[in-house]
Amino acid sequence: MKKTQSIINQTDYKINWFQKFLMICSGGNIHILRKTPSEWNKFSGIGGIVLFTAVFATLSAGYAMFTVFDNIWTSIGFGILWGLMIFNLDRYIVSSIKKTGTWWNQIFMAIPRLILATFLGIIISKPLELKIFEKEVNKQLNTIIQRNKKVLQGEMNGRILQQSGPFETEKKQISEKIAQYQKSYDSASVELEKEILGTKTGLTSGKVGFGSNAKRKQELKEQRRQDLENYQKQVAPRLQYLDKEISKVYTNLETERKSTETFEDKFNGFAARLQALDELGKNSAIIGLAASFIMGLFICLEISPVLVKLISHIGPYDHLLEKTENDFRLYAKEKIEKGNAATDFRIDDFKDKLKE
């Protein structure tokens, strides 16, 4: 048996550089894997999934950052950084699953890793969904912008009524008073005309010509004309002031509206695109279904290494890994026990010397 084990350990298996790279990506111990060639394909496959997940994460983060900063180099740098972080995290998640203990214990240990992998899959998939449905998202963004502008205009109209309301009310009161003076003047003009023409009414004599009654009505008309002109002169400065204040309100709010609309036109960031994608999914069942499938695809891609490790049988790699870890545990335990015994011996020796 010892001779067979020695032959197994001494066999020189060759791993090509690509296989070695994928095995490193899988988080496996390369020194143990050299001794277990039957596990190479499994760990190479796991490493490939981890690698491609990191690549997709890089593309996803790069696109997301481009929508935020609108700078290609910043987006590339952040995308690479994010991809490396996801790569390292996935590699740790996969490598931390041990094929030891009972089946239920393995499942219990895998649940938090599956939850974390699911969240990572959702995070990676969203920016890629935005890129896939970019044309539809841009169209929906324009709809949202126009809708926001209508809401903004409604708010502006309300503020205009609120701020200019007192001025408009006073201006309306003045206009009504002017209208009353104008109505009185017009009435006096009509009575004078009827008196001169000899039209019989309750207020005219019915005699044709410019008599004493017509003269009195002429004076009344002139008096009402003067009252109208005097009141118009009196309120003219106030009307000018009110018009100026109302114009100022409109000018200030129009400036604010244009400034706000400028920001609305730039409503195309990452959060805005997520809102547009969400509305597209609610308005279109096909887009919603397609987005769900894309998200499901990346979730499956993210959790697949964990599932492969979970459902696979215990292989030579797992036995050797457990043996290696157990050897270190035993070595550490032995060193601790020896250290404790040596310390106890020195303490006892010191006490004996003190008694002497």
DSSP symbols for 216-249: HHHHHHHHHHHHHHHHHHHHHHHHHHHHHHHHHH
User: Diameter of the chain by CA atoms?
Assistant: 158
Task: Report angle CA 312, 14, 301 to the nearest 5 degrees.
Answer: 35
Look at residue 210 in the predicted model and tell me its pLDDT. 63
State percent of the chain over pLDDT 70. 86
pLDDT tens string 96-149:
877 766 777 777 877 887 888 888 888 888 888 888 888 888 888 888 888 877
Look at residue 4 in the predicted model and tell me its pLDDT. 47
The band of 265, judged by pLDDT with boundaries at 50, 70 and 90, is low
Q: Give the residue-averaged pLDDT of 70-78.
A: 88
Look at residue 81 in the predicted model and tell me its pLDDT. 92
Task: Report angle CA 298, 302, 307 to the nearest 5 degrees.
Answer: 125
Look at residue 92 in the predicted model and tell me its pLDDT. 86
Look at residue 42 in the predicted model and tell me its pLDDT. 87
Instruction: Output the CA torsion 94→96→100→104 (10° steps).
Output: -80
Q: Give the residue among 78, 4, 86, 82 at the shortest CA–CA distance from 51.
A: 86
The answer, yes or no, to whether residue 7 has pLDDT greater than 60, is no
The band of 80, judged by pLDDT with boundaries at 50, 70 and 90, is very high
The token pair at 248 is 């100022």
The secondary structure of residue 210, as a DSSP letter, is S
Look at residue 132 in the predicted model and tell me its pLDDT. 84
Average pLDDT along the chain: 80
The answer, yes or no, to whether residue 261 has pLDDT greater than 70, is no
Q: Give the residue-averaged pLDDT of 18-28.
A: 89
Strand extents, DSSP E, 38-79: none
pLDDT tens string 174-214:
888 888 888 888 887 777 666 666 566 655 656 666 666 66
Q: Give the residue-averaged pLDDT of 243-272.
A: 73
Task: Check if the beta carbon of residue 271 is closer than 8 Å to that of residue 67.
Answer: no
Look at residue 356 in the predicted model and tell me its pLDDT. 66
Q: Give the residue among 148, 151, 154 at the shortest CA–CA distance from 264.
A: 148
The answer, yes or no, to whether residue 35 has pLDDT greater than 60, is yes
Look at residue 2 in the predicted model and tell me its pLDDT. 45
Helix count and strand count (H, E) for the chain: 11, 0
